[in-house]
């Protein structure tokens, strides 16, 4: 949910391996990595029953780069951006130049875009008419597909409605 921002620590998406145009993603490894962000006691309940399988089926059908072994290919561009910008101290955009209302929805267990990164970005939004920071508890970077997703959707809809009403 929170967009990438500067990090002084390595980010999980970048294993440090040489990059080609695509990364080969093993669905089982992806699911494990998704769940591992949550405390062990919460991992099973994090994703509603059957949802990962539905997500995977949709991903495989919609991804023309699906391999014969059930893996799928993901573009390596985001990893390259992490290397060249987000962990190199060179943001792709200047947050102080944003002039529209901003909602940042962060997740308690997001280890991909950590809370400190989200807060740093929020603090740099100097020229927005208004801004809001929401943290969804017991959720990861994939909050929109998890059991607490309704909180995130509700916050987004409320923010959009307020923005429309205020004419921003």
Mean pLDDT across 97-120: 97
* Helix, strand counts (H, E) of the chain: 6, 4
Residue 83 has pLDDT above 90, yes or no: yes
Model confidence, pTM: 0.91
Q: Is 130 helix (H, G, I), strand (E, B) or coil?
A: coil
Least confident of 53-57, 93-97, 110-114: 53-57
pLDDT above 70 covers a percentage of the chain that reads 99
* 47 against 65, higher pLDDT: 47
Query: Is the pLDDT reported for residue 164 higher than 90?
Result: no
pLDDT mean over 61-67 = 77
Given a cut of 90, whether residue 97 has pLDDT beyond it is yes
Band of residue 166 on the pLDDT scale cut at 50, 70, 90:
confident
- From residue 102, alpha-carbon distances to 50, 67, 129, 163 in Å are 33, 39, 9, 10
**What is the secondary structure of 18-34 as a DSSP string?**
PP-SEEEE-HHHHHHHH
Predicted pLDDT of residue 84: 98
96: helix, coil or strand? helix
Helix intervals (H) in the chain: 27-36, 43-46, 51-62, 77-81, 115-123, 149-166
> What are the contacts of 52-59 at 24+ separation with CB within 8 A?
55/145, 56/27, 56/31
Average pLDDT value over all residues in the chain = 94
Average pLDDT over residues 126-134: 97
Would strands 102-107 and 22-25 be described as parallel, antiparallel, or unpaired? Answer: unpaired
pLDDT of res. 59? 87
């Amino acid at each position: 949910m929170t967009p990438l921002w500067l990090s002084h620590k390595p980010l999980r998406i970048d294993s440090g391996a040489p990059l080609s145009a695509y990364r080969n993603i093993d669905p089982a490894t992806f699911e494990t990595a998704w769940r591992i962000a949550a405390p062990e006691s919460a991992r099973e309940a994090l994703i509603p029953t059957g949802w990962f399988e539905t997500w995977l089926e949709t991903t495989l059908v919609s991804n023309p780069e699906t391999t014969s072994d059930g893996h799928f290919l993901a573009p390596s561009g985001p990893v390259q951006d992490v290397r060249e910008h987000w962990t190199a101290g060179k943001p792709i955009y200047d947050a102080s130049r944003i002039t529209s209302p901003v909602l940042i929805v962060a997740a308690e267990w997001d280890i991909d875009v950590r809370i400190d990164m989200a807060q740093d970005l929020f603090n740099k939004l100097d020229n927005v008419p208004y801004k809001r920071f929401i943290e969804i508890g017991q959720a990861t970077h994939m909050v929109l597909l998890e059991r607490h997703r309704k909180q995130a959707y509700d916050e987004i809809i409320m923010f959009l409605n307020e923005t429309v009403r205020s004419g921003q």
